[in-house]
A and B are shown apart, each in its own frame.
Chain A
Amino acid sequence: MKEMDVQGFKALALQCRFELSDEEAQDIKNEFDILISQMRLLDKIDTTGTEPMIYPFETVSHFLREDVVEDVLVISEVLKNAPKEKNGFFVTQKVVI
């Protein structure tokens, strides 16, 4: 497990596209220590040979959707919630590569 400090949490938050104040990051760091001790409870459990459970039910499906056009939103509905739009396009500030 990766070691984390306040700067580490701030960097992680930025990776998720939001910012933490120093106070918030410290708060998380404190609770993180509790989390680590919680995760140690998981370490107590022997999972050798156990596969991760991704879905509650593992019966395989056979369903595939037929390739038929059904649901389209009219342009007014598409743009209804757009914070910024022009000529039918969604607009954002320049994307810096």
Chain B
Amino acid sequence: MNYEIVIGIEIHCELKTKTKMFSSAPVSVNMQPNTCVNEIDLGHPGTLPSLNKEAVRLSLMACMALNCEIDPLIKFDRKNYYYSDLPKGFQITQQFYPIGKNGYIDIPTDNGIKHIRINRLHMEEDTAKQYHSGDETWIDFNRAGTPLVEIVSEADIRSAHEAMIYVEKLRNILVYLDVTDGKMEEGSLRCDINISLREVGTEAFGVKTEIKNLNSISNIEKAIQAEVIRQTELLESNQVVEQATRRYDDVQKTTILMRKKEGSIDYKYFPEPNITPVLIDSEWLKSIRDNLPELPNHREKRYMDAGLNAYDAGQLIQNKALSDFFDQLIKDTSYVKLAANWCLSDILANFSQKQLLDKSYDLKYTEMAQMINALGKQEISSKQAKDIFVELLKGKDYHLTVKSLNIEQVSDHSVLEKMVEEILNENEQSILDYHNGKDRALGFLMGQIMKKSKGQANPVITNQLLLDGLMKRKP
């Protein structure tokens, strides 16, 4: 039996605001428990919500970048249920009128560009964090009330790989907008996968399971692959797939049942009476759109227009912090391909992601750019560049480094001519070989000159002088 994989993805993304969605308490990361809350976040009797402007702005930016239709009248609803991490006994969310809908992103697949539709993007607030320990559960409300956007795709995704690319691309867009940190390991980006199988050619959806608590992009692909195997085995042996929530165990490399879906809970959604609809000013909307940061696609195109190939451009934009570094570098050098190579290898090898994000390094862009320029003009060799780079990492100046390492390049024609003459005189056989069509002789002779000059001969000039010299000695 041939099965088609049908996947829809829900992403919850924490917004980078200073305060909570509905209160002026600070948003926290790694703070002492219950130190970033006020009476509103704790759901004390008599408290009321107050909507965060920055959360709205970031949500609007996300809508725009994801090509959503925007509803400028912001409305909220209550989702009612009882749980220990839900202080008010309801979550304030946007059930009936999401801020954005009917969006999409395009992802590259083996069969070309694929259009993945986004059903909705809405604002809501996060719940508290719980820690289970034996017979007790410990609760920290610091996270309660943190602004979230929930982004729900249509079930347009057809493979584990597509799912991974979708999340990667979406995450990257949100990071470029600076609306979120997008750190799956820390929980600022959470991904729930809804997956079902159906016989190829049928339209009806199969029973779906939900996979939650994925903590990395790579686990998305692995989890889906494992679940596809599990569901296929069930269906092939004429068993049913049960609706359930599962998690991925990356040791066992399988999905594990968390809980079965027993009927659906009635959340009794109704409009939030304490928040009267807020109309977004069209001037503000326009200014947000006009000032939208550069998106990954645009940057990728900019890099390709500047001369990078698709692969290098794609690699660079995957990591915004690195790409930002690259942008700084190419302000002072037009050897973009070289700059890209150095970024993708040496920079990544020497800086942690945190250092790149915080820009906490001593290396100066201008100095590195000079090195790249010299390398591009072949004024220095690759080996010399590597040695120089070691010093630049310490924050040193390019020219001073070149001097201190004695990497003076010899470009003086008369000096080089003399060297060329000397080498030619010492290597009569090579001259003959060259004129007999053996090109390797040229390389050999160049090598000899380099050795003689301790690598300091300007390769371009030297090459030309050598060729001239060889022509003069044509037998």
A and B touch in their complex, CB below 8 angstroms? yes
Is A78 part of the contact surface with B, judged by Cβ < 8 Å?
yes
Main secondary structure of the interface of B (DSSP, over half): loop
Is A92 part of the contact surface with B, judged by Cβ < 8 Å?
yes
Is A88 part of the contact surface with B, judged by Cβ < 8 Å?
yes
Is A34 part of the contact surface with B, judged by Cβ < 8 Å?
no
A residues 52-86 near B (Cβ < 8 Å) are 54-55, 57-73, 75, 78-79, 86
B residues 233-275 near A (Cβ < 8 Å) are 258-259, 266, 271, 273
Taking CB atoms, residues of chain A closer than 8 Å to B362 are none
Taking CB atoms, residues of chain A closer than 8 Å to B19 are 67-70
Is A44 part of the contact surface with B, judged by Cβ < 8 Å?
no
Taking CB atoms, residues of chain B closer than 8 Å to A89 are 33-34, 131, 138-140
Assess whether A78 is in contact with B278, with CB atoms less than 8 Å apart. no
Is A87 part of the contact surface with B, judged by Cβ < 8 Å?
yes
Assess whether A69 is in contact with B24, with CB atoms less than 8 Å apart. yes
CA distance A87 to B138 in the complex (A): 10
Known A54-B273, A88-B33, A89-B131; judge A65-B24 contact (CB<8 A): yes
Is A17 part of the contact surface with B, judged by Cβ < 8 Å?
yes
Assess whether A92 is in contact with B56, with CB atoms less than 8 Å apart. no
Size bracket, chain B contacts? 35 or more
Is A97 part of the contact surface with B, judged by Cβ < 8 Å?
yes
Known A54-B271, A66-B53, A67-B54; judge A73-B39 contact (CB<8 A): yes
Residue of B nearest to A84 (CB): B136
Main secondary structure of the interface of A (DSSP, over half): loop
Taking CB atoms, residues of chain B closer than 8 Å to A57 are 276
CA distance A59 to B402 in the complex (A): 70
Is B428 part of the contact surface with A, judged by Cβ < 8 Å?
no
Is B460 part of the contact surface with A, judged by Cβ < 8 Å?
no
Assess whether A93 is in contact with B82, with CB atoms less than 8 Å apart. no
Residue of A nearest to B32 (CB): A88
Q: Which of B25, B83, B279 contacts A61 (CB 8 A)?
A: B279
CA distance A75 to B25 in the complex (A): 13
Residue of B nearest to A74 (CB): B35
Assess whether B38 is in contact with A71, with CB atoms less than 8 Å apart. yes
B residues 27-54 near A (Cβ < 8 Å) are 32-40, 42, 50-54
List 18 contacting pairs A-B, 8 Å CB cutoff, sorted by A. Answer: A16-B82, A59-B276, A60-B277, A60-B278, A65-B50, A65-B53, A66-B53, A67-B54, A70-B24, A72-B38, A75-B34, A78-B37, A78-B42, A87-B33, A89-B138, A90-B138, A92-B84, A97-B258
